[in-house]
Amino acid sequence: MGALDEGHFDVVLENGVKFEKDGGDEIEEAVKVLLEGLGEDVNREGLVKTPLRVAKALRDGTRGYKQNVKDIVQDALFPEVGVEAGIGHAGGAGGLVLVRDLDLFSYCESCLLPFQVKCHVGYIPSGQRVVGLSKLSRVADIFTKRLQDPQRLADDICFALQNGIDPTGVAVILQCSHIRFPNFESCFLDSNHERWVNVLVGSGSGTFEKDDSASWVDFFGLLRCRDISLENIRSRTDIKDSWCPSRSHSKLGPCTSTMDLAVTSIIRSLGQDPCRKELVGTPNRYVRWLMNFKDSNLEMKLNGFATLSLKTVGNVNYKDHIRSETNLSLWSLCEHHLLPFYGLVHIGYISNEEVNPIGKSLLQSIVHFHGFKLQVQERLTRQIAETVSPILGGDIIVVVEANHTCMISRGIEKFGSNTATIAVLGRFANDPAARSQFLKMIPSYSL
């Protein structure tokens, strides 16, 4: 860990593109190589600024390498009654200080995808000193804004606070969630795909170093989360192999392709050594994940359903014949930031057929077909509507509800936010009452 290496390096890719650390745009050039490897035109309107946006997000998301804990805490220590010899003074001023539910994010060092972190950090003051509460969050943020894995992140925060404010003890608990993004083939086979890998890790120093310490009793008592305890914290050995979903894939190939070398250049540009053992397979894993979204120019094969004419009702009471298919799973990749988004798709149509003769599986296939491309949610919603229109009779409403990881990992950090888009064709386009009726059929959004 530390500040960016000031050394100079050059990386020449197979196509002659050269990345120089001093050039300032090496990440942008690498992103262009990745986009071209996906079969995309880097000059098309939606992608022109993507390299710049990706570079800004990565630099912001790893800014912790340029920050120092000492600079944050040295002017934020205040005189106050502390703890001497492990005994709190009268009035409780020297007891545990706990900051709960800090929402943070970090980049997984194994695959370069962002993961969410809910951080709980506490310390017991000593030497009649306390630290400004905001500094606990800022110190945690320094280490989340680096390429990380959960256990090392918890240890880094704990060690930094122990050395920075010299307390009686420090305790850190992290709830980490890594998106489990499926590949294109598995999406069609596994309709119950788990979206997240969740782990709970902890680290303690001083009076928190032993698991049976009374200080942990105080910590969990103040935390007031019944599902968090020392007993259900994952062991350090378990985390390494089971945390990142990309590690469960087949054996890595050699890191020799143009795209692999482009990712290697990005890692170097962020000030990290791609030969570090934790990063050796990262370029290959990231490229294999990214290739799920290669523009293969495949056509949507509807097996004759495109010419099927459903029985549709006339203008009288057609609102009694609004049908729906809801909660179709969606996975996609934002073309503006090369970050994943995921959610649910709901499709409404008008028919007097009591049972949908098409079947949910075909509609789900259509959603996956359009999802596994570089996308923007508005375009994706329209494409789904236009594809299902000839199948379902022309009166179509499509609603997409999705969470975008770019909302947390490029400086905005709006955790829990989601985006809804709508596309309408036929009678739904001109009838607000019909749209309203369908919208009431959609289950509450929960992912």
User: For residue range 408-418, what is the model confidence (pLDDT) as tens digits?
Assistant: 766 556 666 78
Same domain as 185, residue 98 = yes
Q: Residue 294's Cα: distance from chain center in Å?
A: 20
**Which of 65-79, 218-232, 289-303, 391-405 bottoms out in mean pLDDT, i.e. has the lowest?**
289-303
CATH number, residue 310:
3.30.1130.10
Residues 397/372, Cβ–Cβ less than 8 Å: no
What tokens appear for 5 in the block? Answer: 């290496």
Query: According to the model, what pLDDT value does residue 59 have?
Result: 93
Same domain as 319, residue 240 = no
Same domain as 351, residue 241 = no
What proportions of the chain, in percent to the nearest 5, are helix, strand and coil? 40, 25, 35
pLDDT bucket at 20, cuts 50 / 70 / 90 = very low
Q: Looking at the predicted structure, is the pLDDT value of residue 108 above 60?
A: yes
Q: What is the pLDDT of residues 243-276, one digit of tens each?
A: 888 877 656 665 568 999 999 999 999 999 999 9
Of all residues in the chain, what percent carry a pLDDT higher than 90? 55
Q: Is residue 180 part of a domain?
A: yes
Looking at residue 393, its amino acid is G
pLDDT bucket at 211, cuts 50 / 70 / 90 = confident
Of the spans 77-81, 129-133, 140-144, which averages the highest pLDDT? 140-144
| Structural domain boundaries enclosing 329 | 305-441
Same domain as 309, residue 178 = no
Q: Is residue 311 part of a domain?
A: yes
Q: Is residue 10 part of a domain?
A: no
**Look-up: residue for tokens 């017991």?**
124
Query: According to the model, what pLDDT value does residue 311 have?
Result: 55
Same domain as 410, residue 312 = yes
**Average pLDDT, integer, range 271-282:** 94
The CA–CA distances, whole Å, from 298 to 221, 272, 289, 293, 307 equal 56, 38, 19, 12, 20
**Which of 6-15, 230-239, 352-361 bottoms out in mean pLDDT, i.e. has the lowest?**
6-15
Question: 269: which residues sit within 8 A by CB, 6+ positions away?
Answer: 19, 21, 26, 27, 30
Q: Is residue 409 part of a domain?
A: yes
Query: According to the model, what pLDDT value does residue 1 have?
Result: 27
Question: For residue 425, what are the β-bridge partners?
Answer: 396
pLDDT bucket at 119, cuts 50 / 70 / 90 = very high
Q: Looking at the predicted structure, is the pLDDT value of residue 299 above 90?
A: no
Final residue in a domain of this structure, among 218, 233, 248: 248
**Average pLDDT, integer, range 113-123:** 94
Same domain as 309, residue 170 = no
pLDDT bucket at 301, cuts 50 / 70 / 90 = low
Final residue in a domain of this structure, among 248, 270, 289: 248
Final residue in a domain of this structure, among 202, 225, 248: 248
Phi and psi, residue 261, nearest 5°? -65, -30
pTM: 0.84
Same domain as 309, residue 226 = no
Other Cβ atoms closer than 10 A to 380: 23
Q: Is residue 75 part of a domain?
A: yes
Q: What is the pLDDT of residues 68-91, one digit of tens each?
A: 998 888 877 777 755 555 554 434
Of all residues in the chain, what percent carry a pLDDT higher than 70? 76
Q: What is the pLDDT of residues 315-344, one digit of tens each?
A: 545 667 899 999 999 999 999 999 999 999
Q: What is the pLDDT of residues 170-204, one digit of tens each?
A: 999 999 999 988 776 666 656 666 788 999 999 99
Mean pLDDT, rounded, of the chain: 83
Same domain as 322, residue 421 = yes
Question: What's the total number of domains in the chain?
Answer: 2
Same domain as 196, residue 89 = yes
Same domain as 432, residue 353 = yes
Burial 251-278 (b: 16+ CB within 10 A, else e): eeeebebbbbbbbbbbbbbbbbebeeee
Q: In 193-321, which ranges are E strands?
A: 196-206
Same domain as 403, residue 335 = yes
Same domain as 84, residue 226 = yes
Query: According to the model, what pLDDT value does residue 246 have?
Result: 85
- Strand bridging mode 374-375 / 18-20: unpaired
Of the spans 122-126, 189-193, 422-426, which averages the highest pLDDT? 422-426
Q: Looking at the predicted structure, is the pLDDT value of residue 7 above 50?
A: no
